[in-house]
Chains A and B, each alone.
Chain A
Amino acid sequence: MSAYNMYVFGKNGLLLHYSEWNRKRRSNMTLDEEAKLMYGSLFSLKNFCRKVSPLDFKDGFMCYKTTSYMLSVLETLTGLKFVINTDLNLSGTRSLLEKIYSEVFVEYVVKNPMWQIGQPIQSELFKTKLHEVVNQHVASVQRS
């Protein structure tokens, strides 16, 4: 059970942060291009879901599964997107993303006076805390 990688996007689609844990395959493009492709596809995916949904599309959580990985997206009301790729057996990604937003992003990015809104995150503290929370989650799922 593991998490592969994670993207954080600002509301205009800029990649604010990228982390990876044990990613097995590189795509044949630069991180920058990959992030743009990812954001673009999420944007379309959301519109797609809104149209396909038989009832009113309510909150921003969405996840898809392929044969080998699962992608989960949490969009906040302010337009930030938290995207995590995990393997198929990792459960509770929604609560994980919510936790990352409220306990890591808000605490170590929003409350950091050096961060300019909408700019990529430089803070090392954010990275360490993020890794801590994700590893903790993976470990707790493994135990249960």
Chain B
Amino acid sequence: MVVHSVFIVSKSGGLIYSHEHNVPKVETERLYTFPLPFQLEERNKRVIVAFGEQGGVKVGHCVSAINKVPVNGHLTGDNKPLLDFMRNEQNYPLTIKFAKTPVSTNEKIFLASMFYSLYAIACQLSPEQKSSGIKTLECDTFLLQCLQTVTGVKFVVVSDTKQNGGESLLRRMHELYSDFAMKNPFYSLEMPVVCELFDEHLVKGIELVERTGTAFA
């Protein structure tokens, strides 16, 4: 089992903790000649593949480096518009690195509050008498598991689909949260958890789960 990331959402939908554990790198680098086999466009200050999938590059991937120099969002390393640069035939051949578009911290906060509302809607749309919100969410590429405590805090684990022990990791997270975050006199409620001891123990817990399938030693 592989745990990709974990996060904690407070009872009002704010992201108070997130940790990326084992995120596989999705990137390809190759020498290209003019014209490029992809159609590119600028979206959210990034140059993104809009059409054409080839050699590991997928729609939605963004340009992350050109001639081994990392790009600066929608600008090249020396601050020229990237899209214009890539459309100019004179600049070719080019070594381009494409990567899966990274999720920024802002986007993570946004995703956390999105999950919060999806969780609530899932209870509302229930065809059964009583229902909680989303407990597990499964796609072909990952499995998300969520534990909501009685106080409304949500612990979320994103892992691969062939996973067991997610439940125990969630319970372990709750335990660590109450031991190290809540008992920290410098911690105020609903605020991001910045606590070294918590981080340390959590990483240990995750590693234990990856090896043995349970987070309790």
Chain B binds chain A? yes
Query: How many B residues touch the partner, as a band?
Result: 35 or more
B15 to chain A, nearest CB (A): 13
B212 CB within 8 Å of chain A: no
Query: How many A residues touch the partner, as a band?
Result: 35 or more
Cβ 8 A contact of A24, one of B103, B127, B135, B141: B127
A50 to chain B, nearest CB (A): 8
Query: Which secondary structure characterizes the binding site on chain A?
Result: mixed
Output the residue of A41, A51, A54 with the most chain B CB within 10 A: A54
Contact A67–B131 (Cβ < 8 Å)? yes
Cβ 8 A contact of A56, one of B60, B128, B136, B138: B60
- Tell me the nearest residue of chain B to A25, going by C-beta: B129
Contact A68–B138 (Cβ < 8 Å)? no
- Tell me the nearest residue of chain B to A23, going by C-beta: B127
Output the residue of A24, A52, A61 with the most chain B CB within 10 A: A52
Contact A25–B137 (Cβ < 8 Å)? no
Cβ 8 A contact of A58, one of B125, B131, B141: B141
Fill in one digit per residue for B131-157: 1 if any A CB lies within 8 Å of its CB, else 0.
111111111111010000000000000
In the complex the two chains form, what is the Cα distance from A103 to B71 in whole Å? 49
